[in-house]
Structure 1
Amino acid sequence: MSIFNLKTWVHYYVSLLKRLGALRFSLILAVAIICADSVLQVFLAHYFDEPLDIVDVARSFILGGLITPWAVYFLTVVVGDLEEAREVLDHTVNKLQVIVKNDQQKTIALESEIIERQNSQLQVEQSAILLRSFLDTSPDLFFHRDLDGNFVGCNKSMELLIGKTEKQLIGANLFEVFPEGYANEANLRDQRVKDTLQEQIQEHWMHYPNGRKAYFEVRVLPLFNSLKEFVGIIGFGRDITEYKKNQDILEKASKEKTTFISTISHELRTPLNGIVGLSRMLLDEKLTPQQVQYLKTIHISAITLGNIFNDIVDLDKLDRRRFDLVREKVELQDFLSDLQSLSYIQTQQKGLQLEFIQTGAFPHVIETDATRLRQVLWNIISNAVKFTEQGSITIRCRYEPGEINQLSFEVEDSGIGIPNDQLDKIFAMYYQVKGNANVIGTGIGLAISSQIVKMLGGKLSVESEPDVGSTFRFSIPVQVNQDKALDEPSLPSIKPLDILLVEDIELNILVARALLEKLGHHVDCAMDGAQALQKVSEHSYQLILMDIQLPDMDGFEITQKLRQIYGGGLPPIVALTANVFSDKEYFIERGMDDALSKPLGVDALNKVINKQFLLQDTLPEIPQHPVLLAEKVSDSLFDEEMLTDLLEFIPSDVMLDNIALFEKLMPDYLQILDSNMIAKDKEGIVNESHKIKGAAGSIGLKRIQKLAQQVQSPDLPAWWDNIDDWVTLMKSNYQQDIDDLKIWVTEHKS
């Protein structure tokens, strides 16, 4: 420590004052000042060589005595202030230390709270991620909408169903997302939730973007916040298509079982009535006692068996049945003779008069389902005999040739008749005329007969007056053998054309394009009506091949729009159709210039092109009768003629690639077809089976094409009853047919 450090001496001086006190410090300070002054006087006297005067020494004492009190007072005040300041400072320091300590404790607590909050937030985030993952991996639908009906969120399953991401969906309302029909139903359901604040459950058919339909059970609930305020709607949807499918299968199995029992009992009762009648007639003959006993046993057994059949039907009634028509060649005169004989036996049993009248020149052979026709007539005649106690039964048969050949029947009786208020009910299943004591049976005969006549192409009707009699009548179209049409001679070929192919099935496009380009034509394609209209506006084509069934509009609508826009400045428009039973005139009447069947054939295509582009006087005479677009599909697996033609123009490797593409597409086609069948969506079934038919036909799978043709033809008799069998056959056969076709193509490589 330096002796010249003033600050040190000051601290030492103040410390000494505090230790000694003011009085003692004053005495010591006075002595120190006097001594210091005396020493200074002695030094100065000696230094200047002057004598030391007592007065100078006294002056030192006086000076020390005067200065010391003031100096001590000043220092005391300064020290006191400093001490007070120190105490204040110490107190302040202590308070600051307390504050710092408290702040440290608060900081520790705050840090702990922050960490706790961070952990809680992390747990919330992890829970949210877990919940989101759960919702996104769930096969069930989830959605959240606000009170205005706008989407707030959804899961992945909902995104797949709608075909939009959650980001695209947020803010959209029901009518912007769903078809109008479903949107209206959902809007009403949501309104019930808002009104009642209760869960609502509905079942809906919903459509995926690829066309597949699924049956969902949708549960919609009110959503409340932490303050228990109603803030929106949440919903969950479970796919119960398999449940619906199984339910339909069970119902169908039950109905088919009942139908089988009902049909068998009715079918067997017809010959059974013959046994009863003949056995009764034989009992009137002269027979031995043993023969009489045998006949009585036969007679009673037949009656008992008939009653058993009636009981079976009564126990297992059904509101629909299933029949398959089997058309065959029928010798008409033999059929009518048998009908007359059976009628005579029945009328003779009750002593009734029979009139059997034939009008017109009957053909020798017709084509119809003779068994079903006989069943209808036998049923009507049996009813006429049953409800006629006396009088006559008149049966009239009439044949009317024409564009559509008609075979007509009337059965008139003089029986009890039917009240007017029940005439429109007698063709209902199980209905029996009220107030008739003669009614025996189940009431299915006329219902079945009416439906058979409808399947045959006619309508069963009745006129009746109580106590006068009834007349049942119907007419059915029949086919009579006709000479085959002469084959048209081949026509010369024409120069290559610029062709627009309007077709929506990729496989059909591949096959048709390959064939047309091999023939030298240039081909441009449009996959829907909008593309077709645009391409025609941008390019001049020499020929338009127009598919009929397209995604946005049918071929007739496109043709009509083109003719409205361009008038007579259009090239020939030729319809492409997979309907093997269509008449060309049908397409021409609706605006087409001609028609071709799919898949395209070289000869048919060349004939149409020559017909449209060569002068009419160079063409051979065209037959006046309607020309079918294609022959009826045979039962063979492949269209070998078409495949042989294709292999002349298309490499076998390309053909095999086309087959592989069909094999890849078929499972998706069938899945969508199944969903439409479960939903009983006729339009969806027709559209999807049309795709299958077109795709199968383009690679020559004739059997699959034929089955798909049947599935897409709801006008066929008993279509809905048979469609499951057709689809099942398609599913079970298509893979084997594909494998066989691959082998066939490989073996027939050029």
Structure 2
Amino acid sequence: MKQIKSWAQYYVDLMTKLGLVRFSMFLAAAIIVLAVSIQMGVTLFLRGTVDVVDLVRSVFFGLLVTPWAVYFLSIVVDQLEDSRQRLSRMVRKLQEMRERDMELNSQLQENISRLNAQIAETNRAETLRQQAIEDLENEVFQREKAQLHLGERTALLRSFIDCSPDLVYYRNEDEQFSGCNTAMEQLTGRVEAELIGLTPFDVYKQDIANKVVETDRQVFASNEPMTYEQWLEYPDGRKAYFELRKVPFFDRFGKRLGLLGFGRDITERKQYQDKLEKASRDKTTFISTISHELRTPLNGIVGLSRMLMDTQLTPAQHQQLNTIHLSAVTLGNIFNDIIDLDKLDRRRLEIAPAPLDLPAFLDELETLSRIQAEQKGLYLHFDRDGDMPQFVMADGTRLRQVLWNLVGNAVKFTDEGGVTIRCLAHEAETQGRLALHFEVEDTGIGIPPAQQEKIFAMYYQVQGKQHATGTGIGLAVSRQLVQAMGGQLYVDSDVGEGACFTAELEVACVEAAADPELPDSDLRLDILLVEDVELNVTVACALLDKLGHQVRVARTGGEAIAMANPDDFDLILLDIQLPDMTGFDVAARLLERYGDSLPPMVALTANVTGDRDYYLERGMQDVINKPLRSQAVRAVIAHLFADLADEEADAASEQAEQNDWLDLGFLTDYADTVGKGVLISSVDLFEQMMPDYMAVLDSNMTARDQAGVVEEAHKIKGAAGSIGLRRLQQLAQLIQSPDQPAWWENVEDWIESLRRAYPGDIARLRTWLQT
């Protein structure tokens, strides 16, 4: 079988090699040869001879069979070749498939290996995941535990911070608050959530915020902690003195996040220091006052004793007089030693004006000055110029102390020539007041220009002058005395040509013109009341309603300007101190807007010591002191709207009942108008508010905030006057008047007097209400 396949393949290969034609010819020849051979063999075997016919027959048979054989074999060969080729293609495909299978098998094996590796990795990852989950769970547990612990510690720390009376806060780089403690919330009046994101300008007043931001920027610029002291203000107006420390803070990478702030209230320490300073000043004032009060008569003793020693005396008298003289000189030196032990500035001066006989005062000054000058061999000229009134209101002791000091210095620094004293009097710019000029001129050594202002400093002495003996406080005290009396003291001098000291001040003449009497008026008016204190509004409205007037109220200057139509009102009662502007500002704007068509304006003021002309010069037609009294209101209305006034009303306005503590005339009028029940409730409210008033007043005083002191005293004055507490009203009036002589030196005593007085005065008022 195998051999047949080989022959068949050989046949196919031969036909393929020779081609169909050549193969057919070769096959035909082969068949013919085969047929001839067979025919010859068979014939020889059967007959023993071979004929030509047999050869022809064999050739013909070969030629006849050859095409069919070739055709048949060709078909077979084609089929075989086609089968072979298909087989070859199949083999190739199988080979390709096998190779692909091998490749896929290889990839499969690789994938299986990779999958096994991934499975192994996945198993390891799963193991790690499980381990990680366990670790994470453990970490979460630990973290929760830590957070719980941290939360407890944070809460504890926050509790400590909130319990601290010190301020604790922090601000970011943009100067915005990021957090604070309870003390800071109380200071700012805002809770922490409200405070976050605000800047100091959103929280504090402008002046305080400027200082806070300035120090913040200094800390940011230097990256160094800073400690300083500053006044801060609570929402109720109370001021406190804080020692503030600011520290920059950074994250763990060194980036600055902002600053931490700490503040400790040292107001009590500040007050204690101020009290110590005040005690020290008071001691200095006492020593200086005693020294200078005693120096004037002591100088007289020294001068007169020296003069008497030049007269005819017995030896015993001369010895006794010399002892008096030396004792006086020694006592003067002791005064100098006492002052040298306590060289502090003089801070407190008390001026007590009283009727002063001016001609007699000048005669006394001339006599003492002449004695002192003649004792040294100097001449004295004493000139008086102007219309001298008989009496003026002045502190004679203080004025004498100043002039005697100037004369003493003039004599001391003059070796040749003399001293000229001039007193000039003329009408002052302020109506009803007298301007006095005292000049003390000498022909002495003079004062260098560079030292002319320095000589008024405490303990200063002209350098290089042999005459400059003593303590050097005389001129300093003299200038403060003159300033306390509302005047000024200055010097004009050239070296070698003497000096001229000039003291200028204004005084009031004792004689005062009486106001004309005015009858009552029955007019019923439409009145605009401009007042911001609620108690005062209640009192004034009740009183004006009772008198038959129609009243409308404006509580600010802006409201008053908007409401004050001349066609709507007959009279404007205008409080001087309003929340947004002064009554004078309101009057000026109304006069500018309406001119002569504006109804009369009457000032309402608690300034019981004020000058009526001062209000008239600023556009007012009259002035009424608060609290309002029906008699005063009737008198003003009669004065403004009628030709004559009722004598009874005028007498009542001029002779209001006087009492050291209570304004009984007002209280009686108020109680009759609105009833004692309303008055009692007002007293209760005042008594409840006074501790807060005093606390704010004390804090402003400690802070040396003049505006704050004046503002709070104005509130107390208005409230006290509204319930008839006259003494408290007058004390508050002094406290709220910084133009008073030596106001800073005296205001502490006035506040202390107010503190001691108000409980007793309230008790007296309650007693009066019960009667």
TM score, norm. by length of structure 1: 0.78
* CA-CA distance at 1:739 after TM superposition: 0.3
What do the CA deviations read for 1:16-59 (whole angstroms, capped 9, x no partner)?
xxxxxxxxxxxxxxxxxxxxxxxxxxxxxxxxxxxxxxxxxxxx
* CA-CA distance at 1:231 after TM superposition: 1.7
2:542 partner SS: helix
* CA-CA distance at 1:156 after TM superposition: 2.5
What do the CA deviations read for 1:174-218 (whole angstroms, capped 9, x no partner)?
333333333333223222322332212222111222222111122
Aligned to 2:69: none
Amino acid at match of 2:690: M
Report the CA distance shift for 1:153/1:563 in structure 2 as closer, same or farther (over 3 A). farther
Report the CA distance shift for 1:529/1:401 in structure 2 as closer, same or farther (over 3 A). closer
Report the CA distance shift for 1:499/1:353 in structure 2 as closer, same or farther (over 3 A). closer
* CA-CA distance at 1:687 after TM superposition: 1.0
* Counterpart contact for 2:284–2:346, Cα < 8 Å: no
Match of 1:480 among 509, 513, 517: 509
Amino acid at match of 2:477: I
Amino acid at match of 2:370: Y
* CA-CA distance at 1:710 after TM superposition: 0.8
> What is the distance in 2 between the residues matched to 1:445 and 1:646?
53
Report the CA distance shift for 1:638/1:347 in structure 2 as closer, same or farther (over 3 A). same
Aligned to 2:545: 517
* CA-CA distance at 1:251 after TM superposition: 1.6
> What is the distance in 1 between the residues matched to 2:171 and 2:184?
13
Q: CA RMSD in A?
A: 3.3
What do the CA deviations read for 1:496-522 (whole angstroms, capped 9, x no partner)?
x55443322232223223323333445
2:491 paired with 1:462 = yes
Amino acid at match of 1:384: A
* Counterpart contact for 1:580–1:633, Cα < 8 Å: no
Aligned to 1:33: none
> What is the distance in 2 between the residues matched to 1:396 and 1:530?
52
* CA-CA distance at 1:602 after TM superposition: 0.7
1:677 partner SS: helix
Aligned to 2:314: 288
Using the TM superposition, name which of 222-231 and 559-568 deviates more.
559-568
1:235 partner SS: strand
> What is the distance in 1 between the residues matched to 2:664 and 2:169?
53
Report the CA distance shift for 1:201/1:635 in structure 2 as closer, same or farther (over 3 A). farther
Which residues of 2 match residues 253-272 of structure 1 at below 5 A?
Answer: 253-272=279-298
Percent identical pairs in the alignment equals 50
2:246 partner SS: strand
* CA-CA distance at 1:474 after TM superposition: 2.5
* CA-CA distance at 1:569 after TM superposition: 7.3
Which residues of 2 match residues 206-217 of structure 1 at below 5 A?
Answer: 206-217=232-243
> What is the distance in 1 between the residues matched to 2:741 and 2:310?
45
* CA-CA distance at 1:695 after TM superposition: 1.0
Amino acid at match of 1:607: A
> What is the distance in 2 between the residues matched to 1:395 and 1:113?
99
Match of 1:367 among 380, 393, 399: 393
Which residues of 2 match residues 326-341 of structure 1 at below 5 A?
Answer: 326-341=352-367
Which residues of 2 match residues 274-673 of structure 1 at below 5 A?
Answer: 274-401=300-427, 403-495=432-524, 497-532=525-560, 543-561=571-589, 572-611=600-639, 614=641, 618-619=643-644, 636-673=660-697
Amino acid at match of 1:390: E
Amino acid at match of 1:518: K
* Counterpart contact for 1:652–1:746, Cα < 8 Å: no
Amino acid at match of 2:298: L
> What is the distance in 2 between the residues matched to 1:270 and 1:297?
19
What do the CA deviations read for 1:50-109 (whole angstroms, capped 9, x no partner)?
xxxxxxxxxxxxxxxxxxxxxxxxxxxxxxxxxxxxxxxxxxxxxx99999999998776
Using the TM superposition, name which of 149-158 and 671-680 deviates more.
149-158
- In terms of Rg, which structure is larger? 2
Aligned to 2:719: 695
Match of 2:701 among 654, 668, 677: 677
Report the CA distance shift for 1:633/1:347 in structure 2 as closer, same or farther (over 3 A). farther
Aligned to 1:185: 211
* CA-CA distance at 1:700 after TM superposition: 1.2
1:373 partner SS: helix
> What is the distance in 2 between the residues matched to 1:606 and 1:491?
6
* Counterpart contact for 1:581–1:630, Cα < 8 Å: no
* Counterpart contact for 1:518–1:650, Cα < 8 Å: no
2:742 paired with 1:713 = no
Amino acid at match of 1:493: D
Aligned to 2:192: 166
Report the CA distance shift for 1:621/1:696 in structure 2 as closer, same or farther (over 3 A). closer
* Counterpart contact for 1:580–1:632, Cα < 8 Å: no
2:454 partner SS: coil
* Counterpart contact for 2:284–2:345, Cα < 8 Å: no
* CA-CA distance at 1:337 after TM superposition: 2.5
Q: Mind listing any 5+ residue stretches in structure 2 that lack a counterpart?
A: 1-121, 648-652
Aligned to 2:44: none
Report the CA distance shift for 1:531/1:478 in structure 2 as closer, same or farther (over 3 A). closer
> What is the distance in 1 between the residues matched to 2:268 and 2:656?
37
> What is the distance in 1 between the residues matched to 2:178 and 2:440?
70
* Counterpart contact for 1:263–1:321, Cα < 8 Å: no
Report the CA distance shift for 1:589/1:473 in structure 2 as closer, same or farther (over 3 A). closer
Amino acid at match of 1:551: P
Aligned to 1:740: 764
> What is the distance in 2 between the residues matched to 1:486 and 1:430?
49
> What is the distance in 2 between the residues matched to 1:362 and 1:557?
38
Using the TM superposition, name which of 699-708 and 565-574 deviates more.
565-574
Report the CA distance shift for 1:178/1:407 in structure 2 as closer, same or farther (over 3 A). closer
* Counterpart contact for 1:510–1:658, Cα < 8 Å: no
* Counterpart contact for 1:507–1:661, Cα < 8 Å: no
> What is the distance in 1 between the residues matched to 2:559 and 2:212?
34
> What is the distance in 1 between the residues matched to 2:440 and 2:488?
14
Tell me the matched-pair count: 643
* CA-CA distance at 1:707 after TM superposition: 0.9
* CA-CA distance at 1:592 after TM superposition: 4.3
Report the CA distance shift for 1:425/1:635 in structure 2 as closer, same or farther (over 3 A). farther
Report the CA distance shift for 1:106/1:171 in structure 2 as closer, same or farther (over 3 A). closer
2:221 paired with 1:195 = yes
Report the CA distance shift for 1:283/1:170 in structure 2 as closer, same or farther (over 3 A). same
> What is the distance in 1 between the residues matched to 2:152 and 2:553?
53
1:400 partner SS: strand
1:460 partner SS: strand
> What is the distance in 1 between the residues matched to 2:553 and 2:192?
35
Using the TM superposition, name which of 673-682 and 353-362 deviates more.
353-362
* Counterpart contact for 1:262–1:317, Cα < 8 Å: no
* Counterpart contact for 2:657–2:664, Cα < 8 Å: no
> What is the distance in 1 between the residues matched to 2:599 and 2:191?
44
* CA-CA distance at 1:347 after TM superposition: 2.1
* Counterpart contact for 1:633–1:706, Cα < 8 Å: no
Report the CA distance shift for 1:635/1:241 in structure 2 as closer, same or farther (over 3 A). farther
Aligned to 1:118: 144
> What is the distance in 2 between the residues matched to 1:406 and 1:503?
37
> What is the distance in 2 between the residues matched to 1:633 and 1:134?
60
> What is the distance in 2 between the residues matched to 1:676 and 1:744?
34
Using the TM superposition, name which of 584-593 and 467-476 deviates more.
584-593
TM score, norm. by length of structure 2: 0.76
Report the CA distance shift for 1:181/1:116 in structure 2 as closer, same or farther (over 3 A). same
Using the TM superposition, name which of 396-405 and 141-150 deviates more.
396-405
What do the CA deviations read for 1:103-160 (whole angstroms, capped 9, x no partner)?
9998776655444333322222222223333333322222222222222222222222
